[in-house]
Structure 1
Amino acid sequence: MGTVTSSARGGGGGGETALGDLPESCVAEVLLRLDPPEICRMARLSRTFRGAASGDGVWEAKLPRNYAHLLAAAAAGGNEEGRHAAAALEAETMPKKEVYAWLCRRNRLDGGTKEFWLDKGGGGVCMSISSRALSITGIDDRRYWNFIPNDESRFHAVAYLSQIWWFEVRGEVEFCFPEGTYSLFFRLHLGRPFKRLGRRVYSSEHIHGWDIKPVRFQLSTSDGQHAQSKCYLTDPGVWINHHVGDFVVKSSNEPMKIQFAMVQIDCTHTKGGLCVDSVAVKPHYLAKKKSSRIYL
């Protein structure tokens, strides 16, 4: 075992060839076949691996094709530091490894009501849309809805429904997603969560009406794709990602508008006790790894 470690670091004796003796171009070809976390681990093996793991060719292959647009979008919605990063990329002075790291951060859009980031493992683009960016029927009447603080939300606040007859939540986003298949989810919670003596608990005081008729989810895209699903809301006390549907992006150079909704407008009964946190868009490969509720 010690011999292998020594050889990998280029410390083998007796004229033996070590991994550190490989040409950096050969090492780069190996790294191109690994995912980003594996590349970072391989960079610890030797100086040669570290040099190859910093090469622009390796990291540009891991970036989405429209990474320049993504960085520009992050800069437009971010701070002065982000604008300097975009300028450095435009001048081709920013290493691609730093571009990848930058895009893996939480990049805010539209006044902080939306954010996107790269999945560190696979390089796919994810997005989260705050409840404050959604059009919610009755949101201006505190008899029905309130925004309450919540440290389990990416946006630190959620929309809480006490009681309403006409339930309708709609939203849209227009963005240059990289090519691929994406899944869209509503992140919901039955009951009002809070902490008591340091423990997470929830109030079931207002929960009612969700077992009478199902909630309907819908999505449509600007290029004519449609999806819908429906379900009864159950399992109070836990955050659940309710799957709305999937859509396919064929061109990363053109913005796609996505419209989505969840409705339960049967006015024969009231419903309440629901937290609406956000809407999430994830690459399909990543969505399949998560334990989300998927309905037909």
Structure 2
Amino acid sequence: MEGLNYFNELPEECVSAILSLTSPLDACRSSLVFSTFLSAMESDIVWDRFLPSDYSDMVSRSLTPLNFSSKKQLFQCLCNPLLIDGGKLSFNLEKSSGKKSYLLSTRALSITWSNDPIYWCWVPMTESRFSDVAVLRTTHWLEIEGKIKTGMLSSNTKYGAYLVIKIRHNAYGLDSEKAELSVQVGDGQAWTGSAYIFGDNPDRKNVEHLKSLSRLIEVDDDEEQILREREDGWMEIELGEFFNGDDDQEVKMSFKEVKSYLLKGGLIVEGIEVRPKH
């Protein structure tokens, strides 16, 4: 009990300094234990440490104005997806750690023949945070690539890259051949894998059924993964992972199926997400 009393008797500015050395999650938990921590947690001293150093740049790049009166409110605003750079990117902070995540829209990606309406079309979808998404009409050459600078991300953090998609009910040819997946940082060795994408037919009605099938996403280290449902209603395939140190390098992320030469269609692409991986 003496230890608890000691913390409650500390000056609020000292408590704020202590909390700023933890994480957003730990700070919130501590405020439930010590009464002094509850008021100290509202201090800008705490939340300024949890915000990324370039938070003012993110605010200025926002497509819509942000309303906040404290650093804590700003942190909470940035934990929700924020459209930046004219709506081509979506940015948010991870609530528990304050680490950065990005979702690159299809407008920020390189998609082979995406400007030719014979192969792709661009349509708005209420389920998407972006103004439009790319819908594959038909192609024999499916290649999607995204790039991001590591300097935009949180340092000393393991990241995963994910292709965010939906599959139309009339999709075809997407499981004719494995797609090649890769993530490469700078000139380093690429993380590679492969995956099938399934359409919606009577034998493959939902993700739970996909789990019972033998065709899974296959990666180099023999780890098996599947096409996963996301909380936002979309699905995702992990393209790979990488560790972000302190260097500013370019990360290349790709998804391609160019070997079968069979026509395929019905794939809806929202973008590529880069987020901390735990």
What TM-score, normalized by structure 1, do the two folds share? Answer: 0.69
Q: Which residue in 2 is equivalent to 1:240? A: 235
Structure 2 residue 53 is matched with structure 1 residue 68 = yes
In structure 2, the residue corresponding to 1:165 is in which secondary structure? coil
Q: In the aligned structure 2, how far is the partner of 1:36 from the partner of 1:231? A: 36
Give the Cα separation in 2 of the matches to 1:275 and 1:62.
Answer: 35
- Deviation readout 1:87-111 (Å, 9 max, x if unpaired): xxxxxxx964355335334333332
Matches within 5 A, 1:123-162: 123-162=98-137
1:142 is displaced (CA, Å) by 1.9
Output one character per residue of 1:67-104: Cα deviation in whole Å (capped at 9) or x when no partner: 222x243134226956x99xxxxxxxx96435533533
1:143 Cα deviation after fit? 2.4
* Aligned mate of 2:193, from 225, 229, 237: 229
Equivalences for residues 186-265 of structure 1 within 5 A:
186-191=163-168, 204-205=169-170, 207-222=171-186, 224-234=188-198, 236=200, 239-251=234-246, 255-265=248-258
- Greater RCO structure (CA 8 Å; 6+ sep): 2
Q: Which residue of 2 aligns with 1:58?
A: 46
The CA deviation at 1:223 is 5.5
SS of the residue corresponding to residue 83 of structure 2 reads strand
Runs of 5+ consecutive residues of structure 2 not aligned to the other structure: 201-205, 207-228
Q: 1:140 to 1:25 in 2, by over 3 A?
A: closer
- Counterpart of 1:268, as a letter, is Y
What is the DSSP-based 3-state SS (H/G/I as helix, E as strand, rest coil) of the residue aligned with 1:123? coil
Q: Which amino acid aligns with 1:49?
A: F
How far 1:187 sits from its partner (Å)? 0.9
Q: C-alpha deviations, 1:104-129, integer Å up to 9, x for none?
A: 34333332111211111221111101
Distance change (3 Å), C-alpha of 1:231 and 1:176: same
CA contact (8 A) 1:74 1:108 kept: no
Q: In the TM superposition, what is the alpha-carbon distance from 1:228 to its structure 2 partner?
A: 1.5
Residues 34-69 of structure 1: per-residue CA shift (max 9 Å, x gap): 642564476578873333112344334434xxx222
Q: Contact 1:219 / 1:259 at 8 angstroms: preserved in 2? A: yes
Is 1:182 matched up with 2:159? Answer: yes
Partner of 1:172: 147
Which residue identity lines up with residue 110 of structure 1 in the other structure? D
Q: 5+ unaligned residues in a row in structure 1: which ranges?
A: 1-16, 86-93, 192-203, 286-296
Could you tell me whether the CA contact under 8 Å between 2:61 and 2:84 is conserved in 1? yes
2:118 and 2:77 map into 1 onto residues whose CA distance is 42
Match of 1:108 in 2: 83
Counterpart-to-counterpart distance in 1, 2:173 and 2:80? 39
Q: Please say which structure displays the higher CA radius of gyration.
A: 1
Report how many aligned residue pairs link the two structures.
Answer: 241
Alignment partners' CA distance in 2, 1:271 and 1:141:
16
The structural deviation recorded for 1:235 is: 5.9
Does the C-alpha gap of structure 1 residues 29 and 74 become closer, same or farther in structure 2, counting only changes over 3 Å?
closer
3-state SS, counterpart of residue 270 of structure 1: coil
Deviations 1:203-258 (A, max 9, x none): x22x221222111112222252521111111263663211111111111xx54322
| Identity between Structure 1 and Structure 2 (%) | 27
Q: Secondary structure at the match of 2:238?
A: strand
- Taking structure 2 as the reference length, what is the TM-score of the superposition? 0.72
CA distance, structure 1, for counterparts of residue 183 and residue 28 of structure 2? 38
Aligned letter for 1:231? A
Contact kept? 2:162, 2:274, Cα under 8 Å:
yes
